[in-house]
Amino acid sequence: MNAAIAPDAAFDLVVRNARVATAGDVFDADIGVRAGRIVALAQGLAAGASEIDARGRWVLPGGVDAHCHLAQPTSDGSRMADDFVSGTRSAACGGTTTVIPFAAQMKGQSLAQAVRDYHAVADGKACIDYAFHMIVSDATAEVVRDELPALIGQGYTSFKIYMTYDDMKLGDREILDVLDVARREGALTMIHAESSDCIAWLTERLLARGLQAPRYHGLSRPPVVEREATHRAISLAELLDTPILIVHVSGPEATDQIRWAQTRGLSIYAETCPQYLFLTADDLEGEGMHGARCICSPPPRDAASQQAIWNGLANGTFQVFSSDHAPFRYDDPQGKQPQGPDTPFNHVPNGIPGLETRLALLFSEGVLEDRIDINTFVALTSTNPAKLYGLYPRKGTIAIGADADMVIWDTDTPRVVHNAELHHNVDYTPYEGRLLRAWPAVTLSRGKVVYEDGVYRGQAGAGQFLQCEKPAPARTARSRHRHLPWLSALADAAS
């Protein structure tokens, strides 16, 4: 596919005969790259120092996976299998060119120290570009007053908060404090919406009856648990007129709450993930600990829930499709079986691997099965996350001045997913044996080939850390304050 050209060529790279799709357009062009940026889009461009002929293939912006966990510290003795070397290698081989994992604050820890610690494990290791979200799990007065505003100003312009997990969750009062900072500073808040007390109540009673197998994880987190917390998160955001993004939505109950809020004009964004399109509660079944491989929260639901998620992707309820890659090895005491083959479901680390398979799953089953169009695919997997997290237009599109992050897609060669052929450091994939009709042929990160025809060609440390701008979707519509007298009163008092 590559051809070498004279060294005095007009461009470092030309991608010839590209069938380009962005979030809004489809067009045919040659793509000229110089110094890692796209500098020309035209037909019949002059020669490049190297060239790739993409004739007959889609050329799309590189994926932006805005929700993945790499080398993240835990409090329960478990250990994530992927660090920034293996995780970004896997991402690149699946067509993702930017990742945004989480600098996680532990209870009692400074948020600023959490960010410094995460840089220590990330910098110099990634083969593709990366930014950080923050996880705020200890909203002390100092964090809210000093650290969070300062970090937002330094380019960490998004953060996640949890409504569940004892070692991570914030109460409603703490959530309001954090949302207030986001509103004032122009940051975007991601919320894991599940009702902690409901989950704890159900879990206690299931375990008391000896019901501890992986299948009971789903029963401890029924849809009403997600629906209630989603509505509560929306209500807290409405109180402060603050945009939020509800992450990893699993089914119609929470989706309906989000759609209701959006139709009322609230700035509520939403994300879903492959596990809610391609897994169901049946995947938590099986002998012994087999179902632990698919334990994640919220859990996979049923076929009707899958259809509701497809509907939400098609009708615009969801703005983002992320992997929520949380890589724990199955056959590992620091992974899915910390207490061996009798580990109760509530002690199984939550999460499944998905960085490398995210894009191919959605392209194959979404675009090629006519569930969504190619522009929606680009928006969900690249453009929208870049916009929501302050990286657009450097990332998320094929345009003059954007980074030359591109994927040339092979839609002619069916491929069966086998974990042995993936590039993560996890000992399984939940999508083993699934037949896909699309897979990246070439992945380019800032104009450099990092994956080509089944071979990883990237280099650890080549990825750059990205400081994020304050995202436009996080801005509060100040004009609405006149309809919210409590906010008007606070604003008047402050002035």
So where are the chain's domains?
61-393+467-474
- Confidence (pTM): 0.96
Question: Which residues have CB under 8 Å from 174's CB, separation 6+?
Answer: 139
3-state DSSP call for residue 275? helix
Closest CA to 232 of 181, 173, 177: 173
Q: Tell me, what amino acid is at 98?
A: T
Q: What is the per-residue pLDDT across 233-265, written as a single tens digit (0 to 9) for each?
A: 999 999 999 999 999 999 999 999 999 999 999
What's residue 489's pLDDT?
77
Give the per-residue pLDDT at 187: 98
Name every residue whose Cβ is closer than 8 Å to that of residue 108 and which is 6 or more positions away in sequence: 138
pLDDT in tens, 119-148: 999 999 999 999 999 999 999 999 999 999
Other C-beta atoms closer than 10 Å to the C-beta of 482 total 9
pLDDT at 485: 80
pLDDT of 495? 62
CB 377 within 8 A of CB 363: yes
- For the chain, what is the radius of gyration of the CA atoms? 22
d(CA 242, CA 258): 14
**In angstroms, rounded to a whole number, what is the distance separating the alpha carbons of residues 410 and 75?**
41
DSSP string, 13-53: EEEEEEEEE-SS-EEEEEEEEETTEEEEEESSPPPEEEEEE
Q: What is the pLDDT along the chain (495 residues), one digit of tens a residue?
A: 565 555 678 999 999 999 999 999 999 999 999 999 999 999 999 999 999 999 989 999 999 999 999 999 998 889 999 999 999 999 999 999 999 999 999 999 999 999 999 999 999 999 999 999 999 999 999 999 999 999 999 999 999 999 999 999 999 999 999 999 999 999 999 999 999 999 999 999 999 999 999 999 999 999 999 999 999 999 999 999 999 999 999 999 999 999 999 999 999 999 999 999 999 999 999 999 999 999 999 999 999 999 999 999 999 999 999 999 999 999 999 999 999 999 999 999 999 999 999 999 999 999 999 999 999 999 999 999 999 999 999 999 999 999 999 999 999 999 999 999 999 999 999 999 999 999 999 999 999 999 999 999 999 999 999 999 999 999 876 555 556 788 777 776 666
Instruction: Kindly give, in sequence order, each residue whose CB lies less than 8 Å from that of residue 87, ignoring residues fewer than 6 positions away.
Output: 68, 70, 71, 99, 101, 325, 327, 355, 424, 425
3-class DSSP state of 494: helix
Phi, psi of 428 (to 5 degrees): -160, 165
The CATH number corresponding to 61-393+467-474 among 1.20.58.1910, 3.40.50.920, 2.60.320.10, 3.20.20.140 equals 3.20.20.140
> What SS3 class is residue 64?
strand
Strand-strand pairing, 58-61 and 11-21: parallel
Buried b (16+ CB within 10 A) or exposed e, 22-55: bbeeeeebbbbbbebbbbbbeeebeebbbbbbbe
**Secondary structure of residue 239 in the 3-state scheme:** helix
Task: Kindly report the average pLDDT of the chain as a whole number.
Answer: 96
Q: What is the pLDDT of residue 444?
A: 98
Give me 482's structure tokens: 């006149």
The phi, psi pair for 186, rounded to 5°, reads 80, 35
Instruction: Give the DSSP H/E element, type plus range, for residue 252.
Output: helix 252-263
